[in-house]
Amino acid sequence: MAESPARQRPFTATHVAVICHDGPDAAARRKAASPAHMQYVESILDRLLLAGPLYDDSGATMIGSLYVFKTDSLPEARRLLEADPYYQAGFWKTVEFRPTLPAAGDCVGGRIW
- Express each pLDDT in 11-58 by its tens digit: 899 999 999 999 999 999 999 999 999 999 999 999 999 999 999 999
**Exposure string for 3-20, b = 16+ CB within 10 A, e = fewer:** eeeeeeeeeeebbbbbbb
pLDDT in tens, 52-107: 999 999 999 999 999 999 999 999 999 999 999 999 999 999 999 999 999 999 98
Q: Are 84 and 20 in contact (CB under 8 A)?
A: no
Domains of the chain (ranges; CATH) run 15-103 (3.30.70.1060)
pTM for the whole thing? 0.89
Give CA–CA dist 111/11, Å, rounded.
12
Give CA–CA dist 13/75, Å, rounded.
14
